[in-house]
């Protein structure tokens, strides 16, 4: 008998071959009979009105089918600006211009080249009105938002003023982080095809097929079941494919307008204006402590810009409320409205910039106290969630500190600015990381087929996390089937509903549903066998039955049993089918549920050039039960890479004169490349958790980016004695002349 599958096995990606051979079909690659192409005309002013659009030349250009403008377009069922949804849909429904780069016309032609050319022929006359575009100079207009993500904008426990009065050491500093763009490798792409005027199919690259379906249905006055969204592969999302942005709806409008299937793919440049970004932040952090390192007060005030038409508070202070056992904590979030596109969540929203500030400040405190930064964190370890007073469902942060410190060789670290290699300064720094462990309701279907193989499905997204693989593994473990006999399908709104692939919740949520339906299916097959007079299992005790290698058999006598295939053949059943839903139980509300980790960085700084190379990056993470050690590690190193980019190079520069991001491609917006990335060391601290999700797994997609920028900034300080409080850490900030 083959070795049984177990949870956590480092199985390779089920879709790996499809991806590397190009056989995986992404949204932009969908081919349909009669497909035509859309290109956007976008505004060059940041605030104002469209006065007139002259589309005569564009309409006369070769291959052009139509030009949609605010005066000639499909009317939507509701005014998106008045809807409760904050998503910034600017869909030619009026003449208002809210940000530079907003779509104001759409050209549809028979080829993408002709559509793009004709779009350049559209003449637009705009009225431009003055509006604030500079974050720094608009600080005095800051206001409190209704909320910061899933928490209140402001929170205070204890008496912060008193806490600072009791402090024997205090650090206080302002940290700033720039706007960043998600820049997934795959651009946003939609193919829209109507059948009549009431049935719409969208192939769309989305982290949330059901949200896209519901939003589009709402905008076109359709029932959700009349819209089908298909998204079998997503080439990265990181948050920008979590909303139904204008391009999705414009594709559907264009297809309706010309009565042909339409493809709309955003250019890299358009992705800088229309699909969200991580807003820049300005964060003031103050920490008070006793000489022994015990925290007495902590305050964290964050401000970020948002659009004139949408409130998005980057929730920088949420983790500050719970990460350390400090009795007196105050956190606030403020917004400044600018004439810019809407910001949105980006990998580790709030937490990634927030912990850059908090974990840098703790490092400054460690320096002030002449204390080891790991020791300082251990001293303030929170055994219960200090924000809610609740116990943690599980927490292995101490193990993470110790495991990462050990692997990294932290004990060998010397004083600040003490280590050189030739002309290069070497330094080491560390930071904590944490992320809430969300888990949302998910449904799945399972089918056992006559050939003894199984097909599972749930409308989840494959954003790169390995969903196809992990779900098939979970099903295979429960049914006792090898991986090559289980298939998992996803990305289709005709399937049972899965929650969005955001908030690092998808694996925990969907795996619970898959495990549940797999158990139901197994039990159904076993019950059939036990009751079947012709089955070798007839009359056996249910508790004596095990499954493995495609067979049901008795534990007490493994030769007594039969395959699923044999059972279905004898019973003349073409298949067995079950459906089910899983949702975390109400008892989970009594616990604080988070994943934790620790990340350590070693840097080499050239004092003359100001260049920083990260030479080692070590992370230890505790995220509940690991479902696939190989894919988990892969996701961590991807997230750590993104954290390194945040630390050293990623920055979207908004030109205050034009209110446009001038970093409009990957030559200007610097994501790390292979040569920037050291060998990464990831330790997975496995932990049991009976509360957090059905399988005890927590999400990991975001945990790995959080804390990295602080660990690197702290290492840069340790190497050079220069504290950089403004990301990214570019050479100009280190060359002091």
Catalytic annotation, residues: 702
Binding residue count for ligand MOS, defined by CB under 6 A: 11
Give min distance, CB of 709 to ligand MOS, in A. Answer: 16
Nearest to 167 by CA among 54, 272, 287: 287
**E strand or H helix at 143, and its extent?**
none
Residue 699 sits in the site that holds ligand MOS (CB under 6 A): no
Measured in degrees and rounded to the nearest 5, phi and psi for residue 348 equal: 70, 50
Is 351 within 8 Å of 706 (Cβ atoms)? yes
Give min distance, CB of 505 to ligand MOS, in A. Answer: 8
Nearer to ligand MOS by Cβ, of 27 and 211: the residue is: 211
Render 339-351 in DSSP notation, one character per residue: SSPPP---SSTTH
Give min distance, CB of 635 to ligand MOS, in A. Answer: 12
* Among residues 99, 135, 194, 238, the one that binds ligand MOS under rule CB under 6 A: 238
Q: How far is Cα 288 from Cα 167, in angstroms, rounded to an integer?
A: 5
Stretch that binds ligand MOS, among 105-113, 237-245, 612-620, 719-727 (CB under 6 A): 237-245
Nearer to ligand MOS by Cβ, of 361 and 460: the residue is: 460
Stretch that binds ligand MOS, among 30-38, 233-241, 308-316, 332-340 (CB under 6 A): 233-241
Give min distance, CB of 662 to ligand MOS, in A. Answer: 24
Q: How many CA atoms lie within 13 A of 697 on its CB side?
A: 27
Strand order through the sheet with 561-563? 545-548, 551-554, 561-563
Residue 135 sits in the site that holds ligand MOS (CB under 6 A): no
Give min distance, CB of 12 to ligand MOS, in A. Answer: 24
Is 42 within 8 Å of 124 (Cβ atoms)? no
Stretch that binds ligand MOS, among 107-115, 234-242, 350-358, 714-722 (CB under 6 A): 234-242
Residue 672 in 3-state DSSP? coil
Nearer to ligand MOS by Cβ, of 204 and 363: the residue is: 204
Q: Which residue is nearest to ligand MOS (CB)?
A: 239
β-pairing, 36-42 with 660-661? unpaired
Q: How far is Cα 481 from Cα 90, in angstroms, rounded to an integer?
A: 49
* Among residues 7, 233, 502, 591, the one that binds ligand MOS under rule CB under 6 A: 502
Is 609 within 8 Å of 735 (Cβ atoms)? yes
Give min distance, CB of 644 to ligand MOS, in A. Answer: 18
Q: Is the backbone of residue 131 left (phi > 0), alpha (psi -120 to 50) or beta?
A: beta
Residue 347 sits in the site that holds ligand MOS (CB under 6 A): yes
Nearer to ligand MOS by Cβ, of 440 and 689: the residue is: 440
Render 612-671 in DSSP notation, one character per residue: EEEEEEEEEEE-BS-SBHHHHHHHHHHHHHHHHHHHHT--BPEETTTTEES--STTTS--
Q: How far is Cα 710 from Cα 283, in angstroms, rounded to an integer?
A: 14
User: End-to-end distance of the chain based on CA atoms, in angstroms?
Assistant: 70
Stretch that binds ligand MOS, among 340-348, 394-402, 570-578, 677-685 (CB under 6 A): 340-348
Q: How far is Cα 230 from Cα 216, in angstroms, rounded to an integer?
A: 13
Stretch that binds ligand MOS, among 49-57, 342-350, 615-623, 653-661 (CB under 6 A): 342-350
* Among residues 76, 286, 338, 345, the one that binds ligand MOS under rule CB under 6 A: 345
Nearest to 313 by CA among 151, 455, 554, 466: 151
Give min distance, CB of 239 to ligand MOS, in A. Answer: 3
Nearer to ligand MOS by Cβ, of 88 and 503: the residue is: 503
Residue 242 sits in the site that holds ligand MOS (CB under 6 A): yes
Stretch that binds ligand MOS, among 259-267, 341-349, 422-430, 644-652 (CB under 6 A): 341-349
Is 174 within 8 Å of 296 (Cβ atoms)? no
Nearer to ligand MOS by Cβ, of 333 and 347: the residue is: 347
Stretch that binds ligand MOS, among 92-100, 157-165, 290-298, 346-354 (CB under 6 A): 346-354
Q: How far is Cα 377 from Cα 371, in angstroms, rounded to an integer?
A: 10
Tokens of 725: 């409080």
Residue 237 sits in the site that holds ligand MOS (CB under 6 A): yes
Nearer to ligand MOS by Cβ, of 249 and 346: the residue is: 346
Residue 349 sits in the site that holds ligand MOS (CB under 6 A): yes
Residue 235 sits in the site that holds ligand MOS (CB under 6 A): no
Is 435 within 8 Å of 351 (Cβ atoms)? yes
Give min distance, CB of 208 to ligand MOS, in A. Answer: 9
Nearer to ligand MOS by Cβ, of 345 and 540: the residue is: 345
* Among residues 346, 365, 495, 713, the one that binds ligand MOS under rule CB under 6 A: 346
Residue 353 sits in the site that holds ligand MOS (CB under 6 A): no
Residue 35 in 3-state DSSP? coil
Measured in degrees and rounded to the nearest 5, phi and psi for residue 140 equal: -70, -15
Give min distance, CB of 347 to ligand MOS, in A. Answer: 5
Is 242 within 8 Å of 277 (Cβ atoms)? no
Render 305-321 in DSSP notation, one character per residue: EEESS------TTTGGG
* Among residues 80, 178, 184, 239, the one that binds ligand MOS under rule CB under 6 A: 239
Give min distance, CB of 498 to ligand MOS, in A. Answer: 14
Is 201 within 8 Å of 195 (Cβ atoms)? yes
Residue 698 sits in the site that holds ligand MOS (CB under 6 A): no
Q: How far is Cα 165 from Cα 162, in angstroms, rounded to an integer?
A: 5
Nearer to ligand MOS by Cβ, of 466 and 580: the residue is: 466
Residue 101 sits in the site that holds ligand MOS (CB under 6 A): no
* Among residues 232, 491, 503, 512, the one that binds ligand MOS under rule CB under 6 A: 503
Would you give the binding string for ligand MOS spanning residues 637-676, x where CB under 6 A is met? ----------------------------------------
Is 53 within 8 Å of 123 (Cβ atoms)? yes
Sorted by sequence, the CB contacts under 8 Å of residue 244 that are 6+ apart come out as: 87, 89, 206, 211, 212, 215, 216
Q: How far is Cα 493 from Cα 567, in angstroms, rounded to an integer?
A: 32
Tokens of 24: 């995986």
Give min distance, CB of 304 to ligand MOS, in A. Answer: 15
Nearer to ligand MOS by Cβ, of 242 and 353: the residue is: 242
For the CA atoms of 455, 457, 462, 465, the dihedral, rounded to the nearest 10 degrees, stands at: -70
Tokens of 394: 């599980």
Nearer to ligand MOS by Cβ, of 236 and 327: the residue is: 236
Tokens of 521: 């299916």
Nearer to ligand MOS by Cβ, of 151 and 476: the residue is: 151
Give min distance, CB of 630 to ligand MOS, in A. Answer: 22
**E strand or H helix at 302, and its extent?**
strand 295-307
Tokens of 467: 């969903």
Nearest to 41 by CA among 118, 98, 95: 118
Stretch that binds ligand MOS, among 13-21, 232-240, 260-268, 475-483 (CB under 6 A): 232-240
Please give the residues from 190 up to 219 whose contact with ligand MOS meets the rule CB under 6 A: 207
The rounded Cα 156 to chain-centroid distance in angstroms is: 28
Nearer to ligand MOS by Cβ, of 92 and 318: the residue is: 318
Binding site for ligand MOS (CB under 6 A): 207, 237-239, 242, 345-347, 349, 502-503
């Amino acid at each position: 008998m083959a070795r049984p599958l177990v949870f956590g096995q480092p199985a390779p990606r089920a879709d790996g071959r499809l991806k590397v051979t190009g056989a995986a079909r992404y949204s932009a690659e969908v081919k349909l009979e009669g497909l035509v192409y859309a290109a956007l005309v976008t505004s060059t002013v940041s605030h104002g009105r469209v006065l007139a659009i002259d589309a005569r030349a564009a309409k006369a250009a070769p291959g052009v089918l139509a030009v949609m403008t605010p005066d000639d377009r499909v009317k939507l069922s509701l005014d998106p600006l008045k809807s409760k949804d904050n998503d910034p849909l600017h869909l030619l429904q009026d003449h208002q211009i809210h940000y530079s780069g907003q779509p104001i016309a759409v050209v549809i032609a028979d080829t993408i080249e002709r559509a793009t050319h004709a779009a350049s022929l559209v003449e637009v006359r705009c009225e431009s009105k003055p509006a604030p575009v500079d974050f720094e100079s608009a600080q005095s207009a800051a206001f409190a938002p209704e909320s910061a993500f899933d928490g209140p904008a402001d929170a205070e426990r204890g008496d912060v003023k008193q806490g600072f009065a009791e402090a024997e050491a205090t650090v206080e500093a302002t940290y700033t982080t720039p706007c960043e763009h998600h820049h997934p490798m795959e651009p946003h792409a939609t193919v829209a095809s109507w059948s009549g005027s009431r049935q719409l199919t969208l192939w769309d690259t989305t982290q949330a097929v059901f949200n896209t379906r519901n939003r589009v249905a709402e905008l076109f006055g359709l029932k959700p079941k009349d819209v089908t969204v298909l998204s079998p592969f997503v080439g990265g999302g990181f948050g920008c494919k979590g909303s139904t942005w204008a391009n999705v709806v414009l594709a559907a409008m264009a297809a309706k307008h010309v009565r042909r299937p339409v493809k709309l793919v955003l250019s890299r440049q358009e992705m800088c204006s229309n699909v969200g970004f991580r807003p820049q932040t300005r964060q003031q952090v103050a920490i008070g402590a006793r000489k022994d390192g015990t925290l007495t007060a902590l305050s964290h005030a964050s401000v970020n810009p948002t659009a004139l038409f949408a409130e998005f508070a980057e929730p920088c202070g949420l983790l500050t409320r719970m990460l350390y056992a400090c009795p007196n904590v105050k956190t606030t979030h403020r917004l400044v409205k600018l004439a810019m596109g809407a910001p949105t969540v980006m990998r580790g929203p709030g937490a990634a910039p927030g912990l850059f500030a908090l974990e840098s400040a703790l490092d400054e405190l460690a320096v002030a106290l002449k204390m080891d930064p790991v020791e300082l964190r251990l001293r303030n370890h929170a055994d219960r969630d200090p924000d809610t007073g609740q116990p943690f469902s599980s927490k292995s942060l101490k193990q993470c500190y110790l495991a990462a410190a050990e692997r990294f060789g932290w004990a060998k670290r010397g004083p600040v600015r003490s280590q050189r290699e030739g002309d290069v300064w070497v330094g080491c720094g560390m930071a904590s990381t944490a992320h809430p462990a969300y888990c949302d309701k998910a449904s799945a279907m399972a089918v056992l087929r006559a050939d003894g193989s199984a097909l599972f499905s749930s409308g989840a997204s494959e954003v790169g996390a390995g969903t196809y693989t992990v779900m098939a593994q979970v099903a295979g473990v429960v049914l006792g089937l090898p991986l090559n006999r289980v298939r998992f399908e996803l990305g289709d709104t005709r399937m049972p509903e899965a929650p969005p692939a955001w908030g690092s919740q998808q694996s925990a949520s969907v795996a619970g549903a898959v495990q549940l339906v797999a158990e139901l299916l197994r039990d159904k097959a076993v019950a059939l066998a036990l009751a079947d007079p012709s089955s070798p299992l007839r009359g056996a005790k249910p508790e004596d039955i095990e499954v493995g290698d495609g067979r049901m058999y008795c534990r007490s006598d493994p030769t007594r049993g039969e395959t699923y295939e044999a059972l279905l053949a004898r019973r003349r059943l073409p298949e067995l089918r079950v459906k089910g839903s899983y949702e975390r139980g109400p008892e989970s509300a009594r616990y604080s549920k988070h994943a934790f980790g620790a990340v350590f960085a070693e840097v080499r700084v050239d004092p003359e050039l100001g260049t920083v190379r990260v030479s080692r990056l070590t992370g230890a993470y505790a995220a509940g039960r690991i479902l696939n050690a190989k894919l988990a590690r892969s996701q961590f190193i991807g997230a750590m890479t993104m954290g390194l980019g945040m630390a050293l190079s990623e920055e979207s520069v908004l030109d205050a004169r034009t209110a446009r991001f001038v970093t409009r491609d990957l030559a200007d917006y610097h994501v790390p490349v292979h040569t920037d990335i050291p060998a990464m060391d990831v330790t997975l601290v496995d932990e049991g958790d009976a509360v957090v999700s059905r399988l005890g797994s927590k999400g990991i997609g975001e945990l790995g980016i959080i804390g990295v920028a602080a660990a690197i900034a702290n290492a840069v300080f340790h190497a050079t004695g220069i504290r950089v409080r403004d990301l990214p850490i570019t050479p100009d900030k280190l060359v002091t002349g």
